[in-house]
Amino acid sequence: MLIGNYLKKGVNLIQNSSVQVKASMAFMAVNFMQKGISFLTAPIFTRLLTTSEYGVITIYSSWLDVIGIFAMFGLYNNVYCRGILEFKNDQKKFTFSLLSLSNIITLITFAVVWIINKYIFTFLNVPDTLIFFMFFSFLLEPAFEFWKTDQRFAYKYKLLCVFMLLVMIFSPILSVAGIFLFPSYKVEARIIGAQLVTLLISLGCYFYEVKAAHGLPKISYWKYALAYNIPLLPYFLSTYVLSSSDRLMIGYFWGEDKAGIYGIAYTMSAVANIVWTSINATLVPTIYKRCDEGRRGSLSKLVIPIIAGYGAVCILIMLLSPEIIWFLAPSSYGEGMYIIPVIVGGVFYMSIFSIFSNIIYYEKKPKYVMGAGVAAAIVNIILNYIFIPLCGYFAAGYTTLVAYLLQVVWSYIAVRKVTGESVYDMKKLGIIGLIVLVMSIFSQFLYPYTWIRWGLLIVIGLVIWKNRKILLEGIFGAKS
């Protein structure tokens, strides 16, 4: 009865909410579903694939990330969010212009990669089938990303929810079916099966955007997007370095099996990133609109409680690492639990970086974001090169945490320079960051003491529950 009452209250709350609140809740849910597929299906695939096969997929995903930076040029990210506010009266033409530009860049990138990999030296070590599939995805997926952003800014959410439910249900089904149907091509089946539904939806969005544009793309919008994003190319690359290069270097120094173990630990950290990506997707339109209306001073009261709640979620994940690894994978992956806390700590600091970078992006000063990313990436590569072969593959998590900390400090200085103020309450933000940092380093020492861990989990859970209204109002109830 008690659970039924809570469900009834929850349903009534949603039904009586404004369209903005309903849309924000839906966007967070679908983002979580979209990004959460890899985590939810990890226990299945870690049992269907060997650590080496899982390592190959991890390394392939890393190449996918870095080539995607060039092939899609990040045109569906911040430049698009800024542009649809600036060109709101010509949004469809702006969208089609960026989509066509993205396709041209994709085809050029494909030609370069194919020639180098086929005729100069092989660096991908990927079958031709997957190379073609990769670039086919790069052609279509931006259309879906543009459409999703349009839906967020217009507070339309029903159709998006339907699409993401289809992705959530059928992607793992097709991947598993492919592995059983093509046992000699498990890696290919896993990769292609996971993307088929997304590509079908992307194809529909592609035709929709072309039809809605009514004509040719505008060269002026190409120039706008290139001028905005070219300075960000080093940052996009640095993001790849921070998120993927450690796995490539582990594979090089310690082998594919260690890359697979690190990859499954990174999958868990991806859950923390999923939570923040989902939250940030609801925050970006509000932050941009408040900045556009000259209400930047109200952002701290909105954002700080959300960061605190997110930090608490990250600590929960750190404390639950032994149980999470047990759930995700067989015993051969067990040592990965000791690296989860520090990776999750790094992901938390990415959230602080993003609340600063959102302000910088709005002010159209992307070079400052680029500086932060490049500096962090260089430090990460140097530290990885020194400490991975010297101290083992666990060192990659700590070096990445150091790089994220540097990125946060740099972006804070950039916000001060761009706006002349801190924007957020730095005392509160610093305390939250310090608590998460301490837990990311020392929580692993609590793993043998289950009763202590679970006691802390209960306390943190109660604190989150007690402050749930503040958190929910901050994420979903903020007035634009």
Q: What is the pLDDT of residues 316-353, one digit of tens each?
A: 888 888 887 777 666 666 677 788 888 888 889 988 99
Placement of tokens 């030609």 in the chain: 111
Kindly give the interhelix angle for 395-419 and 246-254, rounded to the nearest 10 degrees: 160
Q: Does an H or E element contain 56, and which?
A: helix 51-72
Quote the CA–CA distance of 419 and 360 in Å, as a whole number. Answer: 9
Closest residue by Cα to residue 392 from 239, 271, 267, 261:
261
- What integer pLDDT is reported at residue 204 of this predicted model? 94
**Mean pLDDT (10-residue bins), the chain, 480 residues:** 48 54 65 64 78 74 83 85 84 93 96 89 78 93 90 78 85 91 88 92 93 88 90 76 72 71 72 77 78 79 85 86 74 72 88 88 80 85 86 82 90 87 85 89 82 82 73 53
What's the mean per-residue pLDDT of the chain? Answer: 81
- All structural domains of the chain with their residue ranges: 17-476
Kindly give the interhelix angle for 19-48 and 186-213, rounded to the nearest 10 degrees: 160
pLDDT digits (tens, 9 = 90+) for 119-128: 887 777 777 8
Percent helix / strand / coil, the chain, rounded to 5: 90, 0, 10
Q: CB within 8 A of 98, min separation 6: which ones?
A: 75, 76, 79, 80, 83, 142, 146, 221, 225
Contact 356, 412 (CB under 8 A): yes
Cα four-point dihedral sign 452, 455, 460, 463: negative
Contact 306, 474 (CB under 8 A): yes
Angle at the Cα of 424 from the Cα atoms of 419 and 430, rounded to 5 degrees = 125
Placement of tokens 């043998």 in the chain: 448
Quote the CA–CA distance of 437 and 138 in Å, as a whole number. Answer: 36
Q: Does an H or E element contain 410, and which?
A: helix 395-419
Tokens of 166: 């289809």
Quote the CA–CA distance of 305 and 473 in Å, as a whole number. Answer: 10
DSSP state for residue 118 in the 8-state scheme = I
Quote the CA–CA distance of 93 and 231 in Å, as a whole number. Answer: 24
Quote the CA–CA distance of 158 and 161 in Å, as a whole number. Answer: 5
- What integer pLDDT is reported at residue 331 of this predicted model? 65
pLDDT digits (tens, 9 = 90+) for 426-467: 888 898 999 899 888 888 888 887 788 888 878 877 877 776
Quote the CA–CA distance of 106 and 109 in Å, as a whole number. Answer: 5
Q: Residue 38: what residue type?
A: S
Q: How many CA atoms lie within 13 A of 13 on its CB side?
A: 13
Q: How far is CA 429 from CA 205, 273, 436, 468, in A?
A: 40, 19, 11, 19
Quote the CA–CA distance of 389 and 255 in Å, as a whole number. Answer: 11
- What integer pLDDT is reported at residue 38 of this predicted model? 63
Q: CB within 8 A of 417, min separation 6: which ones?
A: 368
- What integer pLDDT is reported at residue 7 of this predicted model? 45
Placement of tokens 């905005």 in the chain: 228
Q: Where are the alpha helices (DSSP H) in 155-255?
A: 158-181, 186-213, 219-229, 233-240, 246-254
CB atoms within 10 A of CB 103: 18
Q: 3-class SS at 234?
A: helix
Quote the CA–CA distance of 414 and 8 in Å, as a whole number. Answer: 46
Task: Assign residue 424 a region (left: φ > 0; alpha: ψ between -120 and 50; beta: otherwise).
Answer: beta
Radius of gyration of the chain (CA): 22
- What integer pLDDT is reported at residue 220 of this predicted model? 93
Quote the CA–CA distance of 480 and 478 in Å, as a whole number. Answer: 6
Contact 436, 348 (CB under 8 A): yes
Kindly give the interhelix angle for 233-240 and 51-72, rounded to the nearest 10 degrees: 180
Quote the CA–CA distance of 290 and 294 in Å, as a whole number. Answer: 6
Closest residue by Cα to residue 143 from 242, 210, 220:
210
The two most distant CA atoms of the chain are separated, in Å, by 68
- What integer pLDDT is reported at residue 20 of this predicted model? 58
